[in-house]
Amino acid sequence: MGKENLIMRYLKRIADDQLKLRLEAFGAVQIKGPKWCGKTTTAEMQARSVIKLQDPDTREGYLATARTKPSLLLKGETPRLLDEWQVAPVLWDAVRNAVDERGLKGQFILTGSTVIDDTEIMHTGTGRISKMSMYPMSLYESEESNGKISLKELFNDKNVDIDGTGSELSIEELIFAACRGGWPASLDEMSEQAKLLIAKDYLDVICNEDISKVDKVRRNPALARLIMRSYARNLCTLAKKTSMLADVSVEMEGTSMKTFDDYTSALERLFVIEDIEAWCPAIRSATVIRSGKKRCFVDPSIAVAAMGASPRSLEVDLKTFGFIYECMCIRDLKIYSQALGGNLSYYHDRYGLEADAVLHLDDGRYALIECKLGSREIDEGAKHLLELKSLIERQNKQERQMPLRLPDLMIVLTGGNMAYTRDDGVKVIPLGCLKD
């Protein structure tokens, strides 16, 4: 396919600018993320030459060359894309050496859908190979969010007028978007049923093939599916591994914690599971802050497929969809935070005080965010955020030497249609209006 045809079908990704910037600063860039999320296509937009290690017509020849003289595979116009480079791990060290020898920026792009075992490479690549993550598409990238409200603008000016800004997305459309997922292939012209098949097929491929291929260890597809389902049932909660294991053991007796950990580790290496870390500021005694991980998939459609749910079933079970909606919010916030140079965590303490997401920027600014699907829940979400802000204020009065920064933004991300700023300063923003 020519680049002209590719451009016609290509929807701009937030990763585009990230890749361009990293190619300016480093000799090579590694793009990692789940399969089918668009890594190769995004890389091809900026690559001048391409080598696909999993192309069946050339694979054996490439692998033979990699074993004897890997530097030959690096010859070509730059940036040179090495797609699925992990098939031949020796290429990592070859790229690192080539970057050192050439002394030039923007030489190589490496893409892959699995985390490589560190024992298979000699050097980390620190300072030479920059690592960036990609995810399935956010609602803004899939052109379902109108992008009328920018997180960057809000951080730079919290007085930006958002009142009355509207989203055209209905709850039914949000549900469909979550079930379909942010897979680029699902945005092609096809029926709704066909679009929903992509996430289901993704689940099948992960359970039946990839979970065993990732490190060449044979694993049971049925057990993989059960573990994925348990994760889906506990989506966006702080469920302990022991309770998820008990859930799995109901149908597959004798499953050990060691086996459970082995399977979840493989799913992490495939970028299917990506739990959210806790934000543990010194507001209260560390003993009362929950520091476990919030269970999450890289895309809400994986949870939907694992549960065997559908748009129709979720329309009559909005409680379950509330968790799936939070997963979709987290996916989008992770993508937007990359453009802002930030990262995502959550806050929850034993007193019930929480923030579904805490978006930190690298300059210290941060936003407390609650994800609430319906308008009736907005008050509850705002209450949590304001209580957390008050707690920080009280702590600062007692601890004047090392005061905590107050939140720069407090946001309730909603499935509703209208944005506004409450009298208490909390911003209510439809997910269908948001962009980076």
> Which pLDDT belongs to residue 3?
46
d(CA 182, CA 199): 9
Domain 3-133: which CATH number of 3.40.640.10, 3.30.70.330, 3.40.50.300, 3.30.1330.40: 3.40.50.300
Q: Is the pTM of this model over 0.75?
A: yes
Q: What is the mean pLDDT of the chain?
A: 92
* Domain limits, the chain: 3-133, 149-435
Residues with Cβ within 8 Å of 389's Cβ and at least 6 positions away in sequence, in order, are 368, 406, 407, 410
Determine if the peptide bond prior to 407 is cis (ω within 30°): no
Give alpha helix (H) positions in 83-156: 90-102, 151-156
Tokens 């210290």: give the residue.
364
Which residues 6+ apart lie within 8 Å of 354 measured at CB?
346, 347, 348, 370, 384, 388
Alpha carbon separation from 262 to 211, 265, 296, 320 (Å, rounded): 10, 5, 17, 28
Q: Is 394 exposed, middle or buried (0-12, 13-18, 19+ CB in 10 A)?
A: exposed
Which helix (H) or strand (E) covers residue 3, if one does?
A: helix 3-9
User: 11 φ, ψ to 5°?
Assistant: -95, 130
CB 142 within 8 A of CB 37: no
Helix ranges (DSSP H) in 157-278? 171-180, 192-205, 211-213, 221-233, 241-249, 257-269
Residue 283 corresponds to which tokens in the numbers above? 């507001």
Strands 49-52 and 80-83 come out as parallel
Q: How far is the first Cα of the chain from the last one, in angstroms, to the nearest whole number?
A: 31
User: What strand order describes the sheet that includes 427-430?
Assistant: 342-348, 354-361, 366-372, 409-414, 427-430, 420-421
- Asked if 263 contacts 238 with a C-beta cutoff of 8 angstroms, the reply is no
Instruction: For residue range 329-352, list pLDDT tens digits in order.
Output: 999 999 999 999 999 999 998 888
Residue 128 has pLDDT above 90, yes or no: no
pLDDT digit string (tens) for 350-404?
Answer: 888 899 999 999 999 999 999 999 989 999 999 999 999 999 998 888 877 788 9
What backbone torsions phi and psi does residue 173 show, to the nearest 5 degrees? -70, -35
pLDDT at 1 > cutoff 50: no
Query: What would the pLDDT profile of 130-165 be if each residue is shown by its tens digit?
Result: 999 999 999 999 999 999 999 999 999 989 999 999
Q: What is the mean pLDDT of residues 95-105?
A: 94
For the chain, the residue count is 436
Q: Is the pLDDT of residue 256 over 80?
A: yes
Dump the DSSP string for 344-409: EEEEEBTTS-EEEEEEEETTS-EEEEEEESSGGGHHHHHHHHHHHHHHHHHHHHH--SSPPPPPSE
Which three-class secondary structure state does DSSP give residue 29? strand
pLDDT in tens, 178-213: 999 999 999 999 999 999 999 999 999 999 999 999
Q: Would you say the C-alpha torsion 321, 327, 332, 337 has a positive or negative sign?
A: positive
Residue 126's pLDDT is 65
Per-residue pLDDT averaged across 232-240, rounded? 96
Q: What per-residue confidence (pLDDT) applies to 123? A: 59
Among 238, 208, 210, 213, residue whose Cα is nearest residue 223: 208
Percent of all residues in the chain with a pLDDT value above 70, rounded to a whole number:
94
